[in-house]
Amino acid sequence: MLKVDHLSVAYGGLTALSDICLEVRAGELVSVVGPNGAGKSTLFKAISGVVRAGSGSVTFEGEDILQTRPFQRAHAGIAHVPEGRHVFPAMSVQENLEMGAYALADARKREELFERIFALFPILAERRRQYAGTLSGGEQQMLAIGRGLASAPKLMMFDEPSMGLAPAVADTIFERIAQLHKEDGMTILLVEQRVAEAMENCDRGYVLQTGRIVMSGTYEELSSDDNVRRAYLGM
């Protein structure tokens, strides 16, 4: 579904990503892990079009999308839930979700999606009319995910959805992401600090270090690697 080929990104003269090759097939949950500053968010931004790539290619469903604008990539089916749970604070929960679904003409499909979002996150249904800015951190993250889902994406990218959340709330978020993968067959690309959780649920993973992919493989392969165990799994 998504293929990143020899992608490089620089900020000014500073290289943030070099020669990244990565693939996500339909229905897969793929994790990207790595230390702070490794370039994980930059990778997501290059895929969704928020930052420009210096070289390489990004293909989505067989189409080269690197020259397209972020909104065109969103229309093509890429939903990017960025780091730091961005919601529209002065809009209600319902309005935030409607913003996510704005390009969706099919009213039935929209209803189905909203039902699914409220089934995954019942608290959002309860707080439908509340201003998003007054939600708790966990609720805002749920809303950010819900808004991404409301666009009926083919690929969902989650950038550190557990960041800054209490462990129990983060667990709920992970469960819902795993549910989206297993029950809805959603294709997911996930960046996470909580590596053990991110890896456990994934089909495959990539380890990013200072802008390069240093390792990739299945959960079994990665978790049996001594360097990965020591650096990320605390073993």
Q: Which residues bind ligand ATP (CB under 6 A)?
A: 11, 16, 34, 36-42, 83
Q: How far is the CB of 51 from ligand ATP (least distance, A)?
A: 7
Neighbours of 100 (CB within 10 A): 25
Residue 48 as a binder of Mg ion (CB under 5 A): the answer is no
Residues 6 or more apart whose Cβ sits within 8 Å of residue 35: 209, 231
Residue 41 as a binder of Mg ion (CB under 5 A): the answer is yes
Q: How far is the CB of 47 from ligand ATP (least distance, A)?
A: 12
Residue 187 binding partner per list ligand ATP, Mg ion, none, with a CB distance cut-off of 5 to 8 Å that depends on partner kind: none
- Which of residues 16 and 143 has its CB atom nearest to ligand ATP in the complex? 16
For residue 187, what are the CA distances in angstroms to 88, 153, 157, 159, 176? 25, 9, 9, 14, 14
Q: How far is the CB of 83 from Mg ion (least distance, A)?
A: 5
Q: Measured over all CA atoms, what is the biggest interatomic distance in the chain, rounded to whole angstroms? A: 51
Neighbours of 213 (CB within 10 A): 21
Residue 161 binding partner per list Mg ion, ligand ATP, none, with a CB distance cut-off of 5 to 8 Å that depends on partner kind: none
R_g over Cα of the chain:
17
The residues that touch Mg ion, with contacts defined as CB under 5 A, are 40-41, 83
